[in-house]
Structure 1
Amino acid sequence: MNTLLKNYINTFRGLSIEVWWLSLITLINRAGTMVIPFLTIYLDEDLHFSKPDIGWIMSFFGIGSLVGTWLGGKLTDKIGYYKVMFFSLFLTSIFFVLLQYATAFNEFCLGIFVVMLVADAFRPAMFVALNAYSKPENKTRSVTLIRLAINLGFSVGPAIGGIIIVSIGYKGLFWVDGITCALAGTLLLNVLHPKKAKILDVVKVENPVSAYKDKAFWVFFIAMFIFGFTFLQYFSTMPLYYKDVRMMSELDIGLLMAFNGFFIFVFEMPLIKWLENLNNSKIKLVAIGLFLVAISFFLLNATSWIWIIVFGMLFMTIGEMIAFPFSNAFAVERAKKGNQGEYMALYAIAFSLSHIFSHNSGMQMVDKFGFETTLNVLTIFALVGVFILWFLIKILKKEKEIQSK
């Protein structure tokens, strides 16, 4: 037991104090975003919107995320990651609190657009900060630590969120979200101020390559859109599936999602360390992760056994544990040849676009064809993404051969 614990602790060694601080800020911020997992249920039960209307609202969620991510990347390259992260956190805290007062369809569309625009400007800035605060050999593990913080927050958040909903209703979630964003911003101001933080990896490119002209990165972008499209169903379509088909309560749904975050918190870092030691291609590992996500949807249609939802969540969880860190590490590595903010923004935009189309498409499919057909479509779409990643491996191999000549 002591050996296992010692080996687990060793997987965290070598990471900078700045990465640890950034992870804590992310943990506080993520623990507070407990509205998001329950958003579709809130719109359905409290505001009584139809499923197609909920789909459109989630599209505005994605559009705000897209614009915010693009803007965050541009601002990061112009004014620096620190200022972007700071203003994003504090403005998000204000807009989250105000969002609870939007009750009409048009009001909520505008409100969620503004919230996500401001909130997701944080993402490319955080990725660039992570790149600056970590040594080259620690990039993937630094990304994994951030993900551990995100998932620990996501483990705690939905569980607490479920308790808050049962106790005082959905309105309390908006206040908690706003307060935690403000706390994260205050911590950022005190521990990661440019005068205090130590930069470990300075990347200077005299003639930067535009991310928008990198053909291989565009193929990667398409695969990440598909990954995001299928993965994000677990935050919109799937909560309704659990509630309407599997007859689960909000508290049960929160605990299931908490299982996802807790499992990642305990097992992701050792898994990533082990996979890194195998020296596999990052893109190959991402493909394996996406394949596991495809299996997670397939299993839910395979049987009506109630505990299959846990196995489905387990396959999805392992899939994201592999796909997210290595896809992020690939993007960070690729960004060194160009404008870092632009590259990391484009990586994040793939998921923002997923938000636009994933939630809406999922809701529309469920409304017209039912959950069974929707799950089958998601399985096939995820497998298409696996094929695209296999194609990308061949492109990168040819690219490497040309560079070696």
Structure 2
Amino acid sequence: MRVWFDQAVGGLPRQFWLLWTGTLINRLGSFVVIFLAIYLTADRHFSQSQAGLVIGLYGVGGALGTTLGGVLADRWGRKPTMLTAQFGAAALMLALGFAQHYPQILVATFALGLFSEAVRPAFSAMMVDVVPEADRVRAFSLNYWAINLGFALSAVGAGLAAKVDYLLLFVVDAGTTLVTAVICLIFIRETRPARSPGDSRPRHSGGMIAVLTDRVFMAYLLVSLGGIAVMMQHMSTLPIAMTAEGLSAATYGWVIAVNGVLIVLGQLFVPRLIGGRDPARVLALGSLIIGVGFGLTAFAHASWFFALSVVIWTLGEMIQSPSNATTVAALSPASMRGRYQGLNSLSWSAGTALAPVMGGLTQEHLGNTALWIGCFLVCALVAAGHLMAGPSRQRRMRQLAPATTFEPPAPVPSVAEPVADAPAELPAR
């Protein structure tokens, strides 16, 4: 166990652990988004359609935020972008909690989505900057583990806080965001790669147009979008399917909780399984496992069978998530990592929006069996797409490899910004 623990967490840069700590603290207090719909309908007595518009505006703001955050992370720097987004999100969280009128809530929620999601590309880009390529699978697995652990605990904490006062949700969420911002302000240093000596090319040559015309990367996002749309069915059509089988909302709750428990218990073992393997093959295998898990739902009529399907697709998710992150990192030129991470986050927002629409239409007009078999077929196509695109991705990764090593200039020590341990070599969502 000691050897395994050293292999799982040992040797990662100090700055990675500061980012990891910030992730965990922030996720532990991520109360508001989880309970926003309940708060709006049960406490503020808005209609379901009014609540839906509010949540939709959060998504629109988030989509703009990830794009803007990616551009700012490259042009302005990772740290200034993160600080602006985090301090702004903390203030807006309190503003939303104290907002009294519906128009105020709409504006505050839109702005909150923009600021909250703008931090993701900068965070991911900074993690790529500081973690050596050989350690990125481990680093992203650890970060994914922290996200799920924090989310699981925050769901419990949010329920307890809501019993006391819904305003407490906003205060605690703002507080944890503020703590994360302070950690970033005091301990984290800028990591945006410096331009090589003698390189006369503009730092941001091509801008966002260059990313959008990167056929290898855009093909990756397009293939991944199908997998995202399938994964997000667990939040939209799965509870409807379980209700149709006569199962209660509480049963859905514990069945879906299996997903988080498995990730928390098993994610740290994943790097040993996939480390050093072809990312395209790992992504293809993960897609097939996810497809089998969702496909088996077509034959589920009891809670234990639904739980079994969750176990299967969670295993696919566990091996696919760090491979997705490392692939995006490897395909991103150092000077435009923020933009690439921003578009990757945007693809997740698009998949999350697309999933309930496509899944709901299929479920309503063709039935549950067609929906789940269709999910398997989509995942099979996604797996084939990853395998077909594998060689072109490998060529692109080899071309970018010399530029992916982070070699920061010697930092100047200061009280407000202590020097982090220099990495041997040096992505975040």
How big is the shift at 1:158? 1.7
How big is the shift at 1:220? 0.3
Q: Tell me if structure 1 keeps the 8 A contact 2:59–2:349.
A: yes
Counterpart of 1:319 in structure 2 is 316
Counterpart of 2:155 in structure 1 is 158
Q: Equivalent residues in 2 for 1:36-51 (5 A)?
A: 36-39=33-36, 47=45, 49-50=47-48
**Matched AA of 2:383:** V
Gap runs ≥5 in structure 2: 401-429
How big is the shift at 1:122? 0.8
Bigger Rg, which one: 2
Q: Tell me if structure 2 keeps the 8 A contact 1:159–1:255.
A: no
- What SS is found at the alignment partner of 1:120? helix
Q: Tell me if structure 2 keeps the 8 A contact 1:8–1:270.
A: no
Counterpart of 2:91 in structure 1 is 94
* Residue 66 (structure 1) aligned with residue 67 (structure 2): no
Q: Distance in 2 between matches of 1:224 and 1:53?
A: 32
* Residue 127 (structure 1) aligned with residue 96 (structure 2): no
Counterpart of 2:233 in structure 1 is 233
**Matched AA of 1:320:** E
How many residues are treated as equivalent by the alignment? 389
Q: 1:280 to 1:54 in 2, by over 3 A?
A: farther
How big is the shift at 1:15? 0.6
How big is the shift at 1:255? 5.2
Q: Distance in 1 between matches of 2:58 and 2:363?
A: 19
Q: Distance in 1 between matches of 2:241 and 2:94?
A: 28
Alignment root-mean-square deviation, CA: 3.5
Q: Distance in 1 between matches of 2:150 and 2:61?
A: 22
Q: Tell me if structure 2 keeps the 8 A contact 1:55–1:359.
A: no
- What SS is found at the alignment partner of 2:331? helix
**Matched AA of 2:85:** S
Q: 1:168 to 1:231 in 2, by over 3 A?
A: farther
* Residue 179 (structure 1) aligned with residue 201 (structure 2): no
Per-residue CA deviations over 1:72-118 (Å, capped at 9, x if unaligned) read 01111111111111121222123233335679887665544322211
* Residue 211 (structure 1) aligned with residue 211 (structure 2): yes
* Residue 34 (structure 1) aligned with residue 31 (structure 2): yes
Q: 1:302 to 1:243 in 2, by over 3 A?
A: closer
Gap runs ≥5 in structure 1: none
Range moving further from structure 2, 353-362 or 41-50? 41-50
Per-residue CA deviations over 1:332-361 (Å, capped at 9, x if unaligned) read 111136522122212222112223323454
Q: Distance in 2 between matches of 1:294 and 1:339?
A: 33
Q: 1:353 to 1:283 in 2, by over 3 A?
A: same
Q: Distance in 2 between matches of 1:39 and 1:236?
A: 16
Q: Tell me if structure 2 keeps the 8 A contact 1:155–1:257.
A: no
**Matched AA of 2:156:** A
Q: 1:179 to 1:213 in 2, by over 3 A?
A: same
Per-residue CA deviations over 1:110-166 (Å, capped at 9, x if unaligned) read 54432221111111101111022212321222222211211111121123233444x
Q: 1:381 to 1:38 in 2, by over 3 A?
A: farther
Q: Distance in 2 between matches of 1:28 and 1:92?
A: 15
- What SS is found at the alignment partner of 1:130? helix
Task: Select 2:388's aligned residue among 386, 391, 396.
Answer: 391
Q: Distance in 1 between matches of 2:82 and 2:307?
A: 35
Per-residue CA deviations over 1:208-245 (Å, capped at 9, x if unaligned) read 67322211111101122222222233345545666675
Counterpart of 2:184 in structure 1 is 188
**Matched AA of 1:97:** L
Task: Select 1:16's aligned residue among 13, 16, 40.
Answer: 13
Q: Tell me if structure 2 keeps the 8 A contact 1:293–1:315.
A: yes
How big is the shift at 1:60? 3.4
Per-residue CA deviations over 1:5-46 (Å, capped at 9, x if unaligned) read 531342211111110110010111112223434555666766
Counterpart of 2:262 in structure 1 is 263
Task: Select 2:296's aligned residue among 299, 305, 330.
Answer: 299
Instruction: Among all aligned residue pairs of Structure 1 and Structure 2, give the percentage whose two residues are the same amino acid.
Output: 21
- What SS is found at the alignment partner of 1:15? coil
| TM-score, normalised with respect to structure 1 | 0.82
Q: Tell me if structure 2 keeps the 8 A contact 1:158–1:254.
A: no
How big is the shift at 1:372? 5.7
Q: 1:336 to 1:75 in 2, by over 3 A?
A: same
